[in-house]
Structure 1
Amino acid sequence: MHFTSETSSNGVVERTFLLDDVTGVLWSPESGSAGAPLLLLGHSGGMHKRAPGLVATALHGVIDHGFTVVAIDAPGHGDRERSDTDRQRGEAIQRARAAGEPIAPIVADHSVSIAERAVPEWQSTLDALQALPGIDSSVPVGFGGMMLGVATGMMLTAADTRIGAVGFGAVFVNDALLDAARQVTVPVEYRIPWDDEHLDRGAALALFDAFASGEKSLHARSGRIHPAPDHERADSVRFFARHLSPSSR
């Protein structure tokens, strides 16, 4: 892991890094983060590691709870090159949206394809982070995200026992995600918008039902996927604090 820049503001240190061809950013408390929980954040499709909502969640985690927070660009996103296949799938989504056709099936399949490639990248990133001074590899790790970030988080949690709690937002559901949800046994907080014209409420509830976790909660709010209220980000981080902070273990 090679750090390429470092800045500090309002008690938060922000460092960008490069791991092979994966680009990422790490936020941590300026006062130090020894033993602090590590929170991984996955961005939505078409976004990147510095998406405004993601950064807002990261800052809540660092400032309010002393977390160390990391985000990476998913394959074909942010500072990373897109493959011809990813470009074609993105164009298909835009054509369907412009024609008023359902986009959920296309987006769900595309998200799963990207998530499958992103999981080993997240595992390599987590390996590198846990080798850094001040990051305790014995502390459970959290993963939060929405849309593409949900698909990635579910598949990562199913594959890696280091993930100790997950907080998810809206996602387009397909059979692959239902299968992944059945392998998620850690605490889950699932937040969905109730009035988005593209989101199938029945599919969202089926996904919640599929989670194999002994502790899971469903939060529905009025409105669409975007914009998410800032208080929901703060609430989501409090969920991670309950399950990852030393007092919870």
Structure 2
Amino acid sequence: MHSLHVTAESSSDGMVERDFTVAGVPGVLWSPASDPAARAPLVLMAHGGGTHRKHPAMSGRARLLVAGCGFHAAVLDAPGHGDRPRTAHDEAEVAALFAARAAGEPEGPIVVRYNDHLAELAVPEYRATLDALQELPEIGPDGPVGFWGITMGTAIGIPFVAVEPRITAAVFGQHWPDALAEKAKQITVPVEFDLQRDDEHIPREAGLALFDAFASKEKSLHVNSGRHKELPRFEADSAARFLARHLGRRVTAQA
């Protein structure tokens, strides 16, 4: 089993932030500053394409989970992102994506293919990280664990949750079903799913097909008007409440 190695620690905005590595993969763990060693549920997150573990979307979601729910929250840099070097394969796929974008051609086939490749690498990394985090006394081996990942985070999260029985509930959204629908059929935990009605990349029918594929008895579809990058911020509040409900915490007001 791989161990968690803390490489830096700081505190701000009511959260303790611990940078760590597991088998050389960089991640960050946020915990309540009031008592970072207190036993609490864990939420694993995955970031979107082209960003990194400390992107404002990640730290903002962590704040909702940590300050608002008293959870621990952790995220890894995906392969080829953040502090992880790009491979020749990464460079070729990114170049193909930019070329399609410049030519006005559909980006979906490239994104689906590339994200599927990244997920094959990232899923075992997330499972090893969960093993390591559950060795910490403030998390432990038997506490509830949630997952939250949108866009590329969904491409990583669906195959991860499909094979990981320790996940209690999950938030996904905004991805094509092509490489994910069969894996989504293996997921039975409660799911909240976000979909943008006017997404210029993902046809509405494709997003609905992925939502329909989940085998969960409890699954909620949140459809908002707007384009791909216009997911309303209040959906993050909804996701935090959803995870709090299923992981056994009450959301508190934040200053």
TM-score by length of 1: 0.95
Q: Contact 1:61/1:67 (CA < 8 Å) preserved in 2?
A: yes
Instruction: Please report how far the alpha carbon of residue 47 of structure 1 lies from its aligned counterpart in structure 2 after TM superposition.
Output: 1.1
> Following the alignment from structure 1 to structure 2, what is the Cα–Cα distance between the partners of residues 229 and 55?
17
**Residue 149, structure 1, aligned to residue 173, structure 2:** no
Q: Which residue of 2 aligns with 1:7?
A: 10
Instruction: Please report how far the alpha carbon of residue 32 of structure 1 lies from its aligned counterpart in structure 2 after TM superposition.
Output: 2.2
**Residue 31, structure 1, aligned to residue 40, structure 2:** no
1:1-249 pair list within 5 angstroms: 1-33=4-36, 34-174=38-178, 176-245=179-248
> What is the Cα-based RMSD across aligned positions, in Å?
1.2
TM-score by length of 2: 0.93
Instruction: Please report how far the alpha carbon of residue 130 of structure 1 lies from its aligned counterpart in structure 2 after TM superposition.
Output: 0.3
Instruction: Give per-residue Cα distances to partners, 1:102-160, cap 9 Å, x unaligned.
Output: 00111011111101110000011001100012113212211111111101111011111
Q: Contact 2:78/2:122 (CA < 8 Å) preserved in 1?
A: yes
Gaps of 5+ in 2: 251-255
Q: Contact 2:146/2:169 (CA < 8 Å) preserved in 1?
A: yes
2:199 is paired with a residue of what secondary structure? coil
> Following the alignment from structure 1 to structure 2, what is the Cα–Cα distance between the partners of residues 227 and 70?
24
Q: Which residue of 1 aligns with 2:253?
A: none
Instruction: Please report how far the alpha carbon of residue 210 of structure 1 lies from its aligned counterpart in structure 2 after TM superposition.
Output: 0.5
| Amino acid aligned to 2:191 | V
> Following the alignment from structure 1 to structure 2, what is the Cα–Cα distance between the partners of residues 201 and 231?
21
Instruction: Please report how far the alpha carbon of residue 35 of structure 1 lies from its aligned counterpart in structure 2 after TM superposition.
Output: 2.8
1:4 is paired with a residue of what secondary structure? strand
Gaps of 5+ in 1: none
1:151 is paired with a residue of what secondary structure? helix
Instruction: Please report how far the alpha carbon of residue 173 of structure 1 lies from its aligned counterpart in structure 2 after TM superposition.
Output: 2.7
> Following the alignment from structure 1 to structure 2, what is the Cα–Cα distance between the partners of residues 58 and 30?
13
> Following the alignment from structure 1 to structure 2, what is the Cα–Cα distance between the partners of residues 199 and 43?
18
Q: Contact 2:224/2:231 (CA < 8 Å) preserved in 1?
A: no
| Amino acid aligned to 2:22 | L
| Amino acid aligned to 2:44 | L
2:234 is paired with a residue of what secondary structure? helix
Q: Contact 1:105/1:172 (CA < 8 Å) preserved in 2?
A: no
> Following the alignment from structure 1 to structure 2, what is the Cα–Cα distance between the partners of residues 172 and 95?
20
Q: Contact 1:194/1:221 (CA < 8 Å) preserved in 2?
A: yes
| Amino acid aligned to 1:192 | L
Q: Contact 1:107/1:172 (CA < 8 Å) preserved in 2?
A: no
